[in-house]
């Protein structure tokens, strides 16, 4: 764990420059707007260790799979979100010396991510080898108003010298992904142009032939004359400006940039569209764009902010997570999804995982229009045929669908056999997201429009994936990997077996609903799917009634898989701290033979399906599995926080919340330098809303069962539920519910009905036994 970020309610602050922490900070201070984003690389040159990262949504390259031994069914490629043209570059030279923070003596360094208004600022003093000293103040943002545009303000001041200052704003498209399997470069040049202060570079991806036009324009605020030397070479465009400067003088550079892709414009119109947008945003000017940015972020915060009083680190953590989620996905384009690294790094390919359905859906359901979540579901619906093809490659038939573990276009592109072939529980997350969306919004019509086809295809997969055990006289599921990826190729993973049967039950319910409410549509869909209702439903019911679930009756716990108790049950507290994290210190063989759990597995199922289990069952399983869990997945602490809160273990709930909310800020798992854990950030929101506030939706009704962590004075947030905006505030005096939409609604608080009519407020004092 690295605690160097200064605690602040609205800002992420780094004071002093440590090159060893630079890649971590590049991730933490990343910017994005849903269409484009970039790591917090420096505008000026930096020769130290860095991951230069600029990304454009939806643009990817199918990097040929690289494995030691090819197996039938392996995906042919791994889809990678590409490191795109570097548009932020501004080289600075004092005389003949280049400003480079790796070689310069740096003082007064400060980097601030202003989350309230959505910009990054940086300041420092640099002493060059000659003794010349420069002072720099920089500010930049990716506009969420003009979401294909960004702007930089870069002020450089000569402190103790008179000389020529050379300023070179540029676009560099000669970029290579750090994670390229064969050290290839994925971009080819299509067009380049430099015209005074303006520069244009259009690149095309190899194989996929996406085109991206990056364009920049700069202005210099100085009363001194200067000439512009245009620079142009393959994949590089820029301009060199030389200005005589005296000690105490400064020059202000404004650089506007746009990134447009052929996903949104015809290729033959891409360049002109880039020119038009660049002209439009530069005419606005930096200050106007920044004012618009602040106003747009104010609106986002009014919808999704969580306010915590009395605990600055907890407040900073939750806002950082919400900020990054809102930077990553806006819901405006149903072709896009939420990569686990967002716009902050290359690891995991930037593709779509089951994280979206399991963790991000609850956040967007409660903080945005239902249409945002609907688009996430439709994204999967549009990939249904690919999911069926993915299943066919593994030997499944008759319309069975296996959604990919990793994808951009619907094809499976993950190339580790224990994940690609075995971590099939991801199908359950897709089905549960449909259920979760309908439960929250009441939009049952989604089933007849899109949902039923997906649910049937998933149920077909499960019915073919199980096999009958003559010895047990039950159905079993062999050779799987559950959510705990520190166990591979196991038999009868409890979570996977449980979710398989749940999916088949829900598919049957969906079929009943559509046949009853929309008989014509039912006939249309069953004909399209060649669905034999009697035969298939009876088969599913037989599996549901005869599924095997591993359990230890003496301990009263569900077993993660067959043979789990054969392991040495040594708790995490007995591990040598120097062995952590295990995935960076132990061999994979040692990990697989150990009892240690990467993330919630049995507990993941108990979280999703908690209404099916009594509290004693939840407690026994929580108390058994949590001490064996190393939480080396970013998705783990939030589930544990929610379950601990439900069980009344407020101390552990708070500890898990702090870990999930500051996972990247404090680099808990020693991997923040690769990029942030965007999808798990939605789990941080869940820790507060579903954990501390106890929010649930049952029988079409919103319920709360809140408690106040001891360290907090209060917390409050808004949720949008079926057209009504409700604010809940919890403090030492009690709970306050406020209806902000004017639509009458009944909410259950501590199991008792509270009627909110119109724009009304209801206070419940803390003498309620449940609250205390």
Catalytic residues: 485
Structure tokens at 156: 């450089």
List Cα–Cα distances, 698 to 362, 441, 442, 459, 613, in angstroms.
Answer: 14, 12, 11, 24, 15
Characterize the bridge pairing of strands 752-756 and 54-56: unpaired
Region of 680 please: left (phi>0), alpha (psi -120 to 50) or beta: alpha
SS3 573: helix
Q: DSSP E strands: which ranges in 246-352?
A: 250-261, 306-309
SS3 432: helix
Please choose, from the candidates 742, 737, 746, the residue with its C-alpha nearest in 3D space to the C-alpha of residue 719: 737
The single residue listed with the structure tokens 């940086």 is 122
Please choose, from the candidates 757, 727, 753, 723, the residue with its C-alpha nearest in 3D space to the C-alpha of residue 740: 727
Q: Under a CB-based contact definition with an 8 Å cutoff, are residues 292 and 143 in contact?
A: yes
Task: Report how far residue 299's alpha carbon sits from residue 608's, in angstroms, rounded to the nearest whole number.
Answer: 31
Q: Under a CB-based contact definition with an 8 Å cutoff, are residues 688 and 712 in contact?
A: no
Q: Under a CB-based contact definition with an 8 Å cutoff, are residues 746 and 714 in contact?
A: no
Q: Under a CB-based contact definition with an 8 Å cutoff, are residues 739 and 759 in contact?
A: yes
Structure tokens at 760: 């009304």
How does DSSP classify residue 21? G
For every residue of 460-487, DSSP letters joined together read HHHHHH-EEETTTTEEE--SB--S-TTS
What's the length of the chain? 772
Structure tokens at 437: 């969306």
Task: Report how far residue 321's alpha carbon sits from residue 408's, in angstroms, rounded to the nearest whole number.
Answer: 23
Backbone angles phi, psi at 591, to 5 degrees: -60, -45
Task: Report how far residue 221's alpha carbon sits from residue 610's, in angstroms, rounded to the nearest whole number.
Answer: 61
Kindly give, in sequence order, each residue whose CB lies less than 8 Å from that of residue 288, ignoring residues fewer than 6 positions away: none
SS3 159: coil
For every residue of 326-394, DSSP letters joined together read HHH--SS-TT----TTTTS--GGGG-B-THIIIIIHHHHHHHS-HHHHHHHHHHHHHTHHHHHHHHHHT
CB-based burial of residue 20 (10 Å sphere; 0-12 exposed, 13-18 middle, 19+ buried)?
exposed
């Amino acid at each position: 764990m690295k605690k160097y970020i200064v605690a602040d309610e609205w800002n992420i602050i780094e004071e002093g420059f440590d090159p060893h922490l630079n890649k971590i900070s590049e991730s933490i201070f990343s910017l994005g707007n849903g269409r484009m984003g970039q790591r917090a690389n420096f505008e000026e040159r930096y020769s130290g260790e860095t991951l230069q990262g600029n990304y454009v949504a939806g643009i990817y390259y199918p990097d040929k799979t690289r494995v030691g031994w090819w197996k039938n069914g392996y995906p042919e490629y791994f889809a990678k979100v590409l490191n795109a043209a570097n548009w932020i570059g501004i080289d600075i030279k004092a005389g003949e010396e280049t400003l480079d923070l790796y070689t310069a003596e740096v003082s007064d360094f400060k980097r601030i991510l202003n989350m309230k208004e959505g910009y990054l600022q940086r300041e420092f003093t640099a002493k060059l080898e000659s003794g010349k000293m420069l002072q720099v103040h920089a500010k930049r943002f990716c506009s969420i108003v003009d979401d294909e545009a960004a702007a930089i303000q870069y002020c450089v001041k000569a402190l103790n010298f008179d000389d020529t200052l050379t300023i070179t704003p540029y676009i560099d498209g000669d970029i290579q992904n750090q994670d390229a399997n064969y050290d290839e470069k994925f971009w080819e040049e299509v067009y380049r142009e430099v015209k005074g202060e303006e520069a244009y570079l259009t690149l095309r991806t190899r194989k996929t032939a996406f085109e991206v036009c990056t364009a920049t324009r700069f202005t210099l605020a100085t009363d001194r004359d200067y000439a512009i030397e245009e620079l142009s070479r393959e994949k590089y465009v820029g301009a060199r400006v030389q200005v005589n400067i005296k000690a105490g003088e400064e020059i202000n550079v404004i650089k506007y940039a746009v990134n447009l892709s052929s996903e949104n414009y015809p290729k033959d119109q891409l360049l002109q569209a880039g020119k038009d947008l660049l002209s439009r945003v530069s005419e606005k000017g930096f200050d106007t764009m920044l004012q618009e940015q602040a106003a747009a972020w104010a609106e986002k915060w009014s919808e999704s902010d969580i306010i915590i009083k009395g605990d600055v680190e907890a407040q900073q953590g939750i806002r950082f997570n919400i900020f990054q989620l809102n930077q990553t996905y806006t819901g405006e384009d149903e072709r896009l999804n939420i990569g686990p690294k967002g716009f902050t790094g290359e690891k995991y390919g930037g593709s779509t995982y089951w994280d979206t359905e399991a963790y991000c859906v609850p956040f967007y359901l409660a903080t945005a229009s239902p249409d945002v979540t609907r688009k996430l579901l439709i994204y999967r619906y549009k990939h249904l045929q690919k999911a069926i093809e993915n299943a066919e490659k593994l030997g499944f038939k008759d319309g069975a669908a296996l959604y990919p573990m990793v994808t951009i276009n619907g094809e499976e592109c993950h190339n580790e056999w224990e994940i690609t072939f075995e971590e099939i529980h991801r199908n359950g997350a897709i089905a549960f997201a449909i259920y979760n969306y309908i439960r929250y919004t009441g939009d049952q019509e989604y089933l007849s429009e899109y949902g039923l086809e997906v649910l049937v295809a998933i149920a077909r997969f499960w019915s073919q994936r199980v096999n009958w055990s003559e010895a047990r006289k039950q159905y079993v599921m062999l050779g799987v990997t559950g959510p705990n990826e520190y166990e591979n190729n196991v038999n009868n993973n409890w979570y996977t077996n449980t979710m398989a049967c749940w999916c088949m039950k829900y598919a049957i319910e969906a079929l009943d609903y559509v046949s009853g409410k929309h008989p014509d549509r039912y006939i249309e869909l069953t004909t399209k799917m060649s669905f034999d209702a009697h035969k298939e439903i009876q088969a599913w019911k037989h599996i549901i009634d005869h599924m095997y679930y591993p359990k230890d009756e003496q301990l009263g716990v569900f077993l993660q898989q067959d043979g789990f108790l054969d392991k040495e049950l040594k708790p995490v507290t007995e591990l040598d701290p120097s062995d952590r994290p295990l995935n960076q210190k132990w061999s994979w063989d040692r990990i697989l033979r150990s009892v240690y759990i990467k993330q919630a597995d049995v507990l993941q199922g108990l979280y999703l399906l908690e209404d099916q289990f009594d509290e004693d069952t939840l407690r026994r399983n929580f108390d058994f599995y949590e001490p064996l869990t190393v939480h080396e997945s970013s998705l783990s602490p939030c589930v544990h926080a929610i379950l601990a809160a439900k069980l009344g273990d407020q101390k552990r709930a708070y500890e898990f919340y702090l870990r999930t909310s500051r996972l990247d800020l404090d680099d808990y798992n020693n991997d923040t330098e690769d990029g942030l854990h965007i999808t798990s950030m939605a789990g941080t929101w869940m820790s507060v809303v579903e954990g501390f506030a106890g929010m649930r939706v049952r029988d079409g009704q919103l319920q709360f069962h809140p408690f106040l962590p001891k360290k907090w004075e209060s917390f409050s947030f808004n949720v949008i539920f079926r057209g009504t905006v409700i604010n809940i505030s919890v403090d030492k005096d009690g709970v306050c519910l406020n209806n902000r939409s004017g639509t009458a609604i009944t909410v259950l608080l501590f199991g008792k009905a509270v009627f909110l009519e119109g724009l009304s407020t209801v206070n419940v004092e803390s003498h309620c036994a449940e609250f205390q």
